[in-house]
Amino acid sequence: MAPPENILNVDELSKPYFVWFEDNWRHDDLLHLHEKKGQLVYVESGFQYLTVEGKMYLLPQNHAAWIPAKAIHKTNSHSERIRLMIMFFDSTKDDSFYNTVNVFSVPPVLKEMIRYAEKWSRDTDESDDENIFLKALYNELPNFVADSIQLHISLPKDKRLTQAINHLNTHYTQDLKMEDLSDIASLSLRSLERIFKKETGLTLIKYQQMLRIIKSLELLSANEWTISEIAYQVGYKSLQAYTNSFQSVMQYRPSDFIKNL
């Protein structure tokens, strides 16, 4: 499964590292993989969705994701503008970090290293300075994942859940009525809950909570509304209810997220 036609096939490059910076990033929404290289995706502004091996991840502003080599993935964004840096690395380490998807808040030192690497963007010629610098960055990546959030939703493969998932994705701000979802899926409530948990790893209530938090992260990244306004926009009845829900998922408060933007 090769990369989209308008994307350079980095596996064909002889150099071990490759940097690709884009202002106002627009990527083909097609599944593909890189046989030889893992990649670090860093969102400087805006927000990015990643679908990797059947799971959908949100990559907020000032967060990065590590995608292992051979992982089938695609990227897409609904941000009007997004500043994105992608760095490709030959997969040479056995550390578990490099074999799993990781989404994490980027600390200042890594942020500055990524910005410095922009000087090599799209450079297909190999240089010693680039190799030394990017090898050091690559080796240190496992040390930067202390704040890994692993915020993702598994996409169910069972076709019986398709309409129920579509309904949840469209009406996540509303109070969840189990009977309505059961009717939509043409399943008994017990069967729906069992199959849904098996396919996604989440209960219906938890899935709705994750959708609300993911959407709120998009809105927080836009920096156009107050936290209270966002809480009501994503379906919470009070700021306290939203804050408690956010903290249970993210392990910190919405105000803490805004501080790091």
Q: Which domains does the chain have, with CATH numbers?
A: 10-144 (2.60.120.280), 157-259 (1.10.10.60)
Span 214-232, mean pLDDT? 90
Which positions ≥6 away from 224 have C-beta within 8 Å? none
Q: Using CA atoms, how far apart are residues 8 and 92, in angstroms rounded to an integer? A: 21
Lowest mean pLDDT among 46-60, 156-170, 231-245: 46-60
User: Is 80 a residue whose pLDDT tops 60?
Assistant: no
The one-letter amino acid at 171: H
User: Is 217 a residue whose pLDDT tops 90?
Assistant: no
Q: Using CA atoms, how far apart are residues 100 and 38, in angstroms rounded to an integer? A: 10
Which positions ≥6 away from 207 have C-beta within 8 Å? 153, 168, 196, 200
Query: Helices (H), strands (E): how many in the chain?
Result: 9, 9
Lowest mean pLDDT among 1-15, 24-38, 44-58, 165-179: 1-15
Q: Which helix (H) or strand (E) holds 53?
A: none
Span 132-145, mean pLDDT? 92
* Main-chain phi, psi angles of 28, to 5 degrees: -60, 135
pLDDT value, residue 110:
92
Provide the pairing of β-strand 63-67 with 102-105: antiparallel
Q: Using CA atoms, how far apart are residues 97 and 196, in angstroms rounded to an integer? A: 29
Give the model's confidence band at 261: pLDDT under 50 very low, under 70 low, under 90 confident, else very high.
low
Cα angle: 143, vertex 111, 23; to 5 degrees = 135
